[in-house]
Amino acid sequence: RRYSRITGTGSYLPPRRLTNADLVAELAQRGIETSDEWIVERTGIRARHFAAPDVACSDLGLEAARNALQAAGLLPTDIDLIIVATSTPDMVFPSAACILQNKLGANGCPAFDVQAVCSGFVYALSVADAMIQTGAANRALVIGAEVFSRILDFNDRTTCVLFGDGAGAVVLEASETPGILSSDLHADGKHVGILCVPGNVSGGKVLGDPVLKMDGQAVFKLAVGVLEKAAHAVLAKAGLTEADIDWLIPHQANIRIMQGTARKLKLSMDKVVVTVDQHGNTSAASIPLALDHAVRAGQVKKGETLLLEGVGGGFTWGAVLLKL
Ligand code: ACO
């Protein structure tokens, strides 16, 4: 049997870092009142990074991809598949993946975006795994890259304090030993309205409101339940139990969602990789960013069993269980 395995990780954060205090001061200039205490208590977020105006999704993804290739000891021309998970691509079309492919110098291989908002990375990783298993690809770059700062309404304090920009990437290679053990993906489109950017481009104009809208409590209530189900599904498919998990690397939306998920899975928080405090919610980038930070910090090691979990707009959710 043919499997896929992560052979390198990389990430990139734009240099401009805003602490809660920095953001509080910026928002105060608009007459918007918030505080470090409120943000930390409700979300666990202490800082986030924002990209400069001339930096696009593909630029962040490119840096993360280069770092992942270096870690895997590969050249761009070794890659035969590029998937970018993003909801904030450079343009309506072509995909961020095509733009990134050209900047990287990996021209010729298939390249496309996967749009599943905060679940995007687990979706993209599952697609790449399936393509490697069937022999359609041998060496894939799977990237999560986002510039959520572009779609935030800085007059809406309930959402603009939550998100940040960044990118993470993995190299996924064909292997005789597993790697990715199982995956489980879902969507339920009846919840479109609880988390969306309803605007679009039409007739040369922006139609509707092109900023993020969220019913935070509805998202919170759905998130913990579906994450528990997805975790149990991937464990059952692989014939493993909660006790086999070395690390939970969840989508970094909010520390309280992560604590709730860990509790349901009977995992102590010291088995959960947490970067939301420093990165905020970077949507599709959050899981590969957290993975790369944990690998480079020596926290997560080769041979360990990792549970990756994403949940986000759509409503979408999913999990990937893997051996690093
Ligand atoms: N600063 C200060 N006060 C605020 C802020 C802010 N930034 N935002 C809201 N408030 C106020 C509200 O106005 C409200 O005041 P009121 O009681 O006088 O009306 C009060 O705080 C409580 O507001 P709630 O919305 O009820 O706060 P809640 O405890 O639900 O926390 C939050 C909001 C953090 C968004 C929470 O619902 C949550 O974590 N939801 C999960 C959603 C999430 O993480 N989404 C990320 C994107 S989705 C994803 O990635 C899966």
* Catalytic residue list contains 186: no
The answer to whether residues 274 and 223 touch, using CB atoms and an 8 Å cutoff, is no
Q: How far is the CA of 220 from the centre of ligand 1 (A)?
A: 10
**Mean pLDDT taken over the chain:** 97
Same-fold call for 3-177 versus 181-323: yes
User: Residues 31-60: pLDDT tens digits?
Assistant: 999 999 999 999 999 999 999 999 999 999
Average pLDDT over residues 286-310: 98
51 lines ligand 1 (CB under 6 A): no
User: Residues 239-280: pLDDT tens digits?
Assistant: 999 999 999 999 999 999 999 999 999 999 999 999 999 999
Q: How far is the CA of 43 from the centre of ligand 1 (A)?
A: 8
Residue 116 has a pLDDT of 98
- Would you state the structure tokens that stand for residue 120, as one six-digit string? 């995007």
- What topology does CATH give the domain 3-177? Peroxisomal Thiolase; Chain A, domain 1 (3.40.47)
How far, rounded to the nearest angstrom, does the alpha carbon of residue 271 sit from its chain's CA centroid? 19
Give the residues across from 85 on adjacent strands: 114, 144
d(CA 132, CA 134): 5
Average pLDDT over residues 123-139: 98
Whose Cα sits closest to atom 7 in ligand 1? 157
Give all strands of the β-sheet with 139-147 in edge-to-edge order. 3-12, 165-175, 139-147, 81-85, 111-114
Q: Does domain 181-323 have CATH number 3.40.47.10?
A: yes
DSSP 8-state class, residue 85:
E
Q: How far is the CA of 158 from the centre of ligand 1 (A)?
A: 5
Q: Which of 20, 57, 281, 293 is catalytic?
A: 281
Give the rounded percent of residues in the chain with a pLDDT score beyond 70. 100
229 φ, ψ (degrees, to nearest 5): -60, -45
Question: What pLDDT band is residue 319 in, cutting at 50, 70 and 90?
Answer: very high
Q: How far is the CA of 233 from the centre of ligand 1 (A)?
A: 30
d(CA 266, CA 250): 15
Residue 165 has a pLDDT of 98
Average pLDDT over residues 7-24: 98
Indicate the domain borders of the chain.
3-177, 181-323
Q: Which amino acid is at 54?
A: D
User: Residues 156-204: pLDDT tens digits?
Assistant: 999 999 999 999 999 999 999 999 999 999 999 999 999 999 999 999 9
Give the residues across from 92 on adjacent strands: none
Q: Which amino acid is at 9?
A: T
Shortest-distance atom of ligand 1 to CA 158: 8
199 lines ligand 1 (CB under 6 A): no
Give the mutation target among 41, 121, 158 for probing the ligand 1 site: most ligand atoms within 8 A of CB.
158
The answer to whether residues 311 and 295 touch, using CB atoms and an 8 Å cutoff, is no
Q: Which of 20, 118, 254, 279 is catalytic?
A: 118
Q: How far is the CA of 271 from the centre of ligand 1 (A)?
A: 26
Q: Residue 56: which of 19, 23, 12, 18 has the closest Cα? A: 12
* Catalytic residue list contains 118: yes
Whose Cα sits closest to atom 37 in ligand 1? 216
Question: What pLDDT band is residue 144 in, cutting at 50, 70 and 90?
Answer: very high
Residue 155 has a pLDDT of 96
Shortest-distance atom of ligand 1 to CA 256: 39
* Catalytic residue list contains 251: yes
